[in-house]
Amino acid sequence: MIRFTLLYIAFCMPSFLVLADDTNVQISGEMEELRTLRKEVEELRGLVDKLTEKQGVNKEEIVGNKSKIVENKAEISAAKPKPHSDFDVPSLNIRGFGHLQYDYVNESPRNQPDRDTNHFTDGDIGFLFTSQISKKLTFFNETLFKFTSDGDTNVNVERVMLNYEFADWLNISIGRDHTPLGYWNQNYHHATWTHTTTDRPLIFQFEGNDGVLPMHYVGIGLSGNVGLDFGNVEYSFTIGNGRGEDTESIQIINDRNDDKQVSFQFTVEPEVLDGFGFGANVLYDVIPNNPNIIGRENEIDEVIAGGHMYYTGDPYEIIAEYQYIWHDDLRSTKSHHGGYLQLGYKFGEFKPYYRFDILDIASNDAYFAGLRGAENSIEHTVGVRYELFPFAALKLEYRRLDADYMDSNEISSQISFMY
């Protein structure tokens, strides 16, 4: 029995020593972190002492009880976010957004009697899915449930991509995303809660809403931020499937021709004025022919170029953009352009705003034939946004549209939210 006990102790002793050594290392590390925290508190206290002496403020009211900062090491450790490890099981994060709206519309179509309508609208219900797969690899998806006028519900996967963060100056993404065309399409997506107005500018309407620009692409993208002496430069470069036979077609799983859509955009944010930025974009594509439509027998070379400027320093909002579109089908060249200027000023929970939209679309472009949004249009929008809660906003808006196909006056009341 004594021999067995001695053998057992001899066998287990190395494990005990390793465990003790690991425990000592862990305790030593925690003590070192605690000493660092104490040192930081003392340095902050000294800085507060100097500031309060200059301002004549009671430092005890500012500092309070410093012992509470360091007395509970476990709470401090728990409050610090742990970096994601490649061996951690990915977790799925979900956010949602939507809006509800009431509209009164007075329309005056050309050569037709006026008509008045009013209606309630269930806006799109959207979900954002994100997951940290590893330290540098993330997944992102935006899916919309869109309600139609005949009572049906369509499910649209608007964005889905994998993103690899090599460094601040280089992110590599692959999948379906918003095309880098200007400021609005990169900063405001499908959630109306994120932007001031109830709707997007005319030039940046989505493909399914009679938009004239390719708002989505499927392919690979490079993007990043580069800090320079004068400020920050953001860039985005993409290669992907181009436009389909018509403006609404987004080539998700194939490409009708071997030519790929290429786009590049940059934005400069000078250090001297926080909230100010300006930039430009360019896109080249070859649109496939459509022999079923007269005038679409040939492919179309498409070039889109534009510029943007914004100042969003609180309480101001100033955004201006313009885009030019050139189409060449070997027989003729057509040019189109459009843009907007949006102004807003926030005081308290209120933000009144105004936007001027303009579209100048050539009438003889077969690619835009029959597209209601491809008309010469001028629109004035006036409204006010009220922040009901941190993640819910109420908007009251009036729009006046003068277009080739009709004039209209519209009043909208919208509540948009994120959950």
Q: 53 and 133 in one domain?
A: no
Higher-pLDDT residue of 119 and 87 is 119
Q: 299 and 177 in one domain?
A: yes
Q: 247 and 127 in one domain?
A: yes
Q: 102 and 68 in one domain?
A: no
**Could you tell me the pLDDT band of residue 92, with boundaries at 50, 70 and 90?**
very high
**Percentage of the residues of the chain whose pLDDT score is greater than 70:** 79
Over the chain, what is the mean pLDDT?
85
- Spatial neighbors of 83 by CB under 8 A, at least 6 apart, are 135
Q: 386 and 346 in one domain?
A: yes
Instruction: Give yes or no for residue 27 having a pLDDT over 70.
Output: no
- Single-letter amino acid, residue 97: F
In this prediction, residues 68-95 reach a mean pLDDT of 61
Q: What is the model's pLDDT at position 285?
A: 97
Of 79, 104, 120, at which residue does a domain stop? Answer: 79
Residue 56's region, left for phi above 0, alpha for psi from -120 to 50, else beta, is: left
Q: What is the model's pLDDT at position 4?
A: 38
Q: 132 and 73 in one domain?
A: no
Q: What is the model's pLDDT at position 325?
A: 97
Q: 180 and 149 in one domain?
A: yes
Query: Would you list the DSSP string of 223-262?
Result: EEEEEETTEEEEEEEEEEE-B-SSTT-B-SS--SSS--EE
Cα(392)–Cα(349) distance, integer angstroms: 11
Q: What is the model's pLDDT at position 331?
A: 87
Q: What is the model's pLDDT at position 293?
A: 86
**Could you tell me the pLDDT band of residue 110, with boundaries at 50, 70 and 90?**
confident
Nearest to 122 by CA among 93, 94, 154: 154
In this prediction, residues 204-210 reach a mean pLDDT of 92
In this prediction, residues 32-52 reach a mean pLDDT of 64
Instruction: Give yes or no for residue 133 having a pLDDT over 90.
Output: yes
Give SS3 for 411.
Answer: strand
**Domain membership flag for residue 376:** yes
**Domain membership flag for residue 13:** yes
Q: 133 and 71 in one domain?
A: no
- Single-letter amino acid, residue 147: F
The 10s digit of each residue's pLDDT in 340-382 is 999 999 999 999 999 999 999 988 898 998 787 778 999 999 9
Instruction: Give yes or no for residue 40 having a pLDDT over 80.
Output: no
Q: What is the CATH number of the domain that holds 293?
A: 2.40.160.10
Of 79, 105, 131, at which residue does a domain stop? Answer: 79
Cα(172)–Cα(135) distance, integer angstroms: 14
**Domain membership flag for residue 87:** no
**Could you tell me the pLDDT band of residue 257, with boundaries at 50, 70 and 90?**
confident
In this prediction, residues 336-342 reach a mean pLDDT of 97
Nearest to 356 by CA among 339, 382, 380: 380
Domain total for the chain? 2
Spell 77-99 as b/e; 16+ CB within 10 A means b: eeeeeeebeeeeeeeeeeeebbb
Of 41, 56, 79, at which residue does a domain stop? Answer: 79
Instruction: Give yes or no for residue 53 having a pLDDT over 80.
Output: no
**Domain membership flag for residue 253:** yes
**Domain membership flag for residue 84:** no
Q: What is the model's pLDDT at position 128?
A: 96
pTM of the shown model: 0.78
Domain range for 388: 92-418
Instruction: Give yes or no for residue 2 having a pLDDT over 60.
Output: no
DSSP 369: T
Higher-pLDDT residue of 330 and 337 is 337
Higher-pLDDT residue of 197 and 8 is 197
Residue 182's region, left for phi above 0, alpha for psi from -120 to 50, else beta, is: left
Spell 14-43 as b/e; 16+ CB within 10 A means b: eeeeeeeeeeeeeeeeeeeeeeeeeeeeee
Q: What is the model's pLDDT at position 11?
A: 41
Q: What angle do CA 257, 262, 263 make, to 5 degrees?
A: 150
Cα(96)–Cα(125) distance, integer angstroms: 7
Q: 237 and 128 in one domain?
A: yes
Cα(404)–Cα(369) distance, integer angstroms: 14
Q: 191 and 336 in one domain?
A: yes
Higher-pLDDT residue of 395 and 69 is 395
- Single-letter amino acid, residue 133: I
**Domain membership flag for residue 86:** no
Dihedrals phi, psi of 65, to nearest 5 degrees: -100, 100
**Could you tell me the pLDDT band of residue 258, with boundaries at 50, 70 and 90?**
confident
The 10s digit of each residue's pLDDT in 302-318 is 999 999 999 999 999 99
**Could you tell me the pLDDT band of residue 35, with boundaries at 50, 70 and 90?**
low
Instruction: Give yes or no for residue 15 having a pLDDT over 60.
Output: no
Residue carrying structure tokens 């609404």: 248
Q: 161 and 132 in one domain?
A: yes
- Spatial neighbors of 124 by CB under 8 A, at least 6 apart, are 98, 99, 144, 145, 146, 147, 190
User: How would you class 396 by CB atoms within 10 Å of its CB: exposed for 0-12, middle for 13-18, buried for 19 or more?
Assistant: middle
Q: 61 and 8 in one domain?
A: yes
Instruction: Give yes or no for residue 156 having a pLDDT over 80.
Output: yes
In this prediction, residues 325-345 reach a mean pLDDT of 95
**Could you tell me the pLDDT band of residue 270, with boundaries at 50, 70 and 90?**
very high
Cα(143)–Cα(176) distance, integer angstroms: 12
Instruction: Give yes or no for residue 67 having a pLDDT over 60.
Output: no
